[in-house]
Chain A
Amino acid sequence: MALLKSYLTPDFLIERNKDRCIQCRVCVQQCANEVHYYDDEDGEVYSDEMKCVNCQRCVTLCPTRALVIRSSPNELRKNANWTPEVIRSIYIQAETGGVLLTGMGNDRPYPVYWDHMLLNASQVTNPSIDPLREPMECKTFLGRKPASLVFENGRLKEKIPPQLELDIPVMFSAMSFGSISLNAIKSLARAARQEGTYFNTGEGGLHKELYPYGENCIVQVASGRFGVHSEYLEAGSAVEIKIGQGAKPGIGGHLPGEKVGKEISETRMIPEGTDALSPAPHHDIYSIEDLRQLIFSLKEATGYQKPVGVKIAAVHNVAAIASGIARAGADYIAIDGYRGGTGAAPLRIRDNVGIPVEFALAAVDTRLRNEGIRNEVSLVVAGSIRSSSDVVKAVALGADAVYIASAALLALGCHMCQKCYTGKCNWGIATQDPHLTKRLNPDLGAQRAANLLRGWKHEIQEMLGGMGINALESLRGNRLMLRGIGLTEKELEILGIKAAGE
C-alpha cells in the first residue's frame, strides 16, 4: 500500500521580498525542481519549499535580489542525540525502504586537520622572497624518479621514466562524463590546458570532442572499464587505475540508465539507456601482484611512454597499501581522503568510511621514506583541498601535487546542495539534461576554473616566498614548515609535525 503522507517537513525556508519581486519569473524558469511557480489568477510567483534543495540558482539569478533561502526555522524538540538529520533520515527510509543517497563530500563536523596546521615564515635569520620581484618556481613533475643521478660524459646515464609536468601542483580530479556534464568537463579541460595542468576522465571515457585536450588529460581505468580502448589510453598523458574513491571506499559506482544518452553511450561503449555499473573491486585484482599485472599491462599498452598511477581511498592501513602499490610499479599514487566528493554515494558510507587525507598522506610519506622508496613514486592527495593554503600544507606534509574536484565545481557554479545524484543540477554540472547542461557555458566555465588556479598559484607563491623558499619542490615533505594547533600528541605524531610554539 502506498504511503499517503510524508512526514518530512521542508529543510529550507524561501523568503520572497514582495517589495522587490517583479514577477519576472526567472526563478520559475530556472528551478529544475519546480519549487517556484507562477499563479496566473493572482499574477504572482509562489514557492513550494518542500521541493527546494537550496542550490541558490534562483537566489543568484533573481535580478532584484528578492529571494532569500535559509534553513527552515521549524524546530523539533532539542535533542543532542536524536538530531534533526538523524530523524529525517529515518523518515525517508521509512517511506522508501531504500539506501540513503547523497552527493558531494562528507559534511559531518569532523576536525579538518588542514585547519589545525600552521605555516612558517622567515624572519631575520633567513630572508623571505618577494615573488613579484624574484623568480618563484611552481612547477613540479609526477612520476618515478631515479634513486640517484649518474652522469656519464656530462649526460644523465639513466633514462628518466615518463613524467607529468605540472605548472601548478593542482590537478582536476577524476569526474566522469556521466557524473558531470560534457560542458563541465570541457571547462576543466580548457582551464587545465590554459594553466598547464591536467584533468582526469574518471571512469567515463574520453568524449571525442575532448581528444584535442589529451595532452592535459589523465585517462582513468576503473573497475567497469568504461570507454577504455587503445586510442583512449594513447590519448591521455597518463593512465590512472582507480581502485577506490574517498567518498565511498570499498564500493562501486552506478550511473543510472536514464543518464546514458547517445553521447555517454558512445563514449563509455555501452548501449544507450543501460545502467553503467562499476563493480566494487576490479574483478582481475585480488592482490598487489594482480595490480602489478594491470599496471604493466597498461605500460605495455602505452609503450612505457606514459606514467601509470593508482588511485586509492584513504583507509586505515593506507600506508602499507601504498607501499605495495609503489612496489607494484605505479608512477604515482593518488590518495583520496574521506572528505572527497562524489556524484552519488550512500550517505552512511560517505560519512563514516575512510580516514582524513592529512593523516593518510603523512603516514604514506613517512612509510615510503622509511622504506627508502619515496623517490619511486609521486604522491597526489585529494579529498577536499579547499584553498591554496591546503595545497601548501599538503606539499609540506609530503604531497607532490593535489587533486581538486569540489573546489573546481564550485568555481563552475556549484553551490554544494549535495543533490548531484538527482540529475537535476540547476547549475548544469551534475546533470545530463540538455535543458540544464546548456546553463554551463564552457567559455565562462573555463575562465572561472582557470582564474581559480591562477589565484591559487599567486597565493602559493606568496606563501613559499614568505617561508624563504623559491621552488615548490623545496617544500615537499618539509614538515618543519608546519606546526600543529589544537592537536593531541598522537595526532602530532602521526602528522609528523611539532606543535605550535615548539
Chain B
Amino acid sequence: MKKVYAREEYCTGCGLCQVHCITAHSPYKDNIVKAYKKTFPRPLPRVIVEEQRPVSFALQCRHCEDAPCVKACITGAMQRDPATGVVNNDESRCVGCWTCILVCPHGAVARDERGKKAASKCDMCSGIHEVPACVAGCPNGALEYRGEREKEA
C-alpha cells in the first residue's frame, strides 16, 4: 500500500502538515480559516512534528500491516481496512481506554479528551482527499506518498 514517508533532511518543521491535517478533518475541509475559527473542538493534528533544530520530521501512523493497535483494541473500533490497508479508528465506538496508545510502537496515536474521549490518529485522509493533506500541503517535499517498495525520490 501507499504510505507517507518522512524525509527528515528536508523537513523544515514549519508545521503546515498539521495545519492541513486539521483542516482536512474539520467540517470545512477546504477552508483553513473556518476550520480553525469555526470548529469546536478543533480536530487534533494527526501528524506529529518532532523538532530539535536542525533535526525535524513529521510522523503519522505507519499503518502497520500487523498493526498492534488493531489487535489490542478492546472495542473493535480500531480496524485495518482490508481493501486499502488503512488502519482507522471508528471514533463512535472508541471509549478512550488508550490501549492503542499503550501498544503503538511509533507513538502515533493521540488522546483526544476534549469531547467524547477518543483516540485520534492518521486515517490517510481516506474519503477526504486523494493524496493525504499533509503530503499535499508540505512546502518542501519532506513528506512522500509512495508505495513501500517504490524508491525514495
Question: A residues within 8 Å of B by Cβ?
Answer: 19-20, 22-26, 29-30, 61, 63-64, 433-435, 438-441, 443-444
Contacts and interface: CB of A to CB of B under 8 A. Distances in A.
For the side of the interface on B, what is the size category?
20 to 34
B53 A22 contact: no
Interface SS of chain B: helix, strand, loop or mixed?
loop
Given A439-B140, A441-B10, A61 B53 contact: no
A486 B103 CA distance: 76
B14 A26 contact: yes
A443 B19 contact: no
Interface in B19-77: 19-20, 32-33, 36-37, 53-54
Given A64-B32, A64-B33, A443-B153, A438 B15 contact: no
A105 to B, nearest CB: 27
Contacts of B20: 63
Given A438-B11, A441-B140, A63 B54 contact: no
B111 to A, nearest CB: 21
Given A19-B33, A30-B12, A438-B9, 4 more contacts: A24-B36, A25-B15, A63-B16, A64-B33
A439 B12 contact: yes
Nearest to A17: B33
B33 A29 contact: no
Contacts of A435: 13, 53-54
A21 to B, nearest CB: 9
23 contacts: A19-B33, A22-B32, A24-B16, A24-B36, A25-B15, A26-B14, A26-B19, A29-B14, A30-B12, A61-B14, A61-B139, A63-B19, A63-B20, A64-B33, A433-B54, A435-B13, A438-B9, A438-B10, A439-B140, A441-B140, A441-B141, A443-B141, A444-B141
A22 B19 contact: yes
Given A63-B19, A434-B54, A435-B53, A22 B36 contact: yes
Sorted nearest first, the 10 A-B pairs with minimum C-beta distance are A22-B36, A434-B54, A435-B54, A441-B10, A435-B53, A441-B141, A439-B12, A441-B140, A24-B19, A63-B19
With most chain A CB atoms within 10 A of its CB, the pick from B16, B20, B153 is: B16
Contacts of B7: 441
Nearest to B37: A22
A63 B35 CA distance: 12
A441 B144 CA distance: 13
Nearest to B137: A63
B142 interface: yes
Contacts of A26: 14-16, 19
A434 B53 CA distance: 8
B50 to A, nearest CB: 13
Contacts of B142: 441
User: By CB atoms of chain B within 10 A, which of A24, A61, A440, A441 has the most?
Assistant: A441
B134 to A, nearest CB: 12
A83 to B, nearest CB: 37
Contacts of A29: 12-15
Tell me which of A24, A433, A438, A444 has the highest count of chain B C-beta atoms within 10 A of its own C-beta.
A438
B149 to A, nearest CB: 19
A63 B141 CA distance: 16
Contacts of A434: 54
